[in-house]
Amino acid sequence: MNIVVTHSSGYNFKDELYKPIRDSVLNTQHNFFLPQEKERERITKDMIQNADWVFAEVSYPSTGQGIELGWANIFNTPIVCFYKSGMKPSSAIKSIAKDIIEYTNEKGEKETPYMLHRALFGSYERFIAFLLEQTEGKLPLWLSPIQVRIVNFTDRNTKAAGEIVDSLKEKLPKLRIDSDFRNTTVSDKVRDAELQKIPYIVVMGDKEEEKKTLAVRERGSKPKFGVKIDEFIEEIKERIEKKK
């Protein structure tokens, strides 16, 4: 089949769109026209009219693409629109009439096709990239690479904070925990942990050391003070086991 690919020019389409198409098995089965693969090549009305399909990448706004999709709609050329996960489709698709592709089944009835793509993992890199994109990096506690970070308020709290790390490792051997005892402000340490989207930040200061409690900041929430160590252990243990 002859397939015309339309897209915006406002991104790195040669690497993000053209290369995957040329590297795919579809490229060996169909004739793809990629409008800017060579210099001065452009989509014309005749190309759209004679195409079997139009593939439209609509992740980015494009006035020219709206015109091309309008041509496809006029000539009744089937259009397949796709866009990147997490992005809003371009307004270019407003130029397409609200028609749904249909086929006639063996009973002579009109039906709408559905496509199911089953890939248990695909590539690991793509799977992880998709997961991070959908969660904005805010992985649930059970899945986070670092689940808890212990932070000392000042140097004089380092020993007590280290004991908390040892205690948590002993009672929860599989807990992914680390510490930040750098010689910088506690605000810097907390901000760095927040940027890394760590689910729990535990601060050990003078009051916590004296009362044998913890100051616990759950991701996206205000800190809780006076948290007992055993209560904290039970909370994260339950959340991990139940995958909350």
- Confidence class of residue 112 from pLDDT cuts 50, 70 and 90? low
CB distance 198 to 219 below 8 Å: yes
**Residue 138 counted as domain residue:** no
- Confidence class of residue 222 from pLDDT cuts 50, 70 and 90? very high
User: How many separate domains does the chain show?
Assistant: 2
Residue at token pair 């490229």: 27
Bridge partners for 136 per DSSP: none
Range of the domain at 182: 148-241
User: What pLDDT score was predicted for residue 74?
Assistant: 85
pLDDT in tens, 174-200: 999 999 999 999 999 999 999 999 999
| Residue 101 or 240, more confident | 240
pLDDT at residue 114 is higher than 80: no
pTM of the model: 0.53
- Confidence class of residue 97 from pLDDT cuts 50, 70 and 90? very low
108 and 156 share one domain: no
Of 115, 138, 156, at which residue does a domain stop?
Answer: 115
pLDDT at residue 123 is higher than 70: no
pLDDT in tens, 19-36: 989 998 888 989 999 988
90 and 10 share one domain: yes
- Confidence class of residue 100 from pLDDT cuts 50, 70 and 90? very low
Question: What mean pLDDT is reported for the chain?
Answer: 86
Read off the pLDDT of each residue in 115-136 and give the average, rounded to a whole number.
Answer: 69
**Residue 90 counted as domain residue:** yes
92 and 9 share one domain: yes
User: What pLDDT score was predicted for residue 86?
Assistant: 66
- Range name among 99-103, 115-119, 137-141 with the lowest pLDDT average: 115-119
User: What pLDDT score was predicted for residue 96?
Assistant: 53
**Residue 122 counted as domain residue:** no
**Residue 137 counted as domain residue:** no
Bridge partners for 218 per DSSP: 200
Sequence-distant (6+) residues with CB within 8 A of 139 are: 131, 132, 145, 197, 199
**Residue 220 counted as domain residue:** yes
Rounded-to-integer distance, Cα 150 and Cα 202, Å? 5
pLDDT in tens, 32-51: 999 888 876 788 989 999 99
**Residue 21 counted as domain residue:** yes
Characterise 197 by phi-psi region: left (phi > 0), alpha (psi -120 to 50), beta (else): left
pLDDT at residue 121 is higher than 60: no
28 and 103 share one domain: yes
**Residue 124 counted as domain residue:** no
Q: Alpha carbon 164 to chain centroid distance?
A: 34
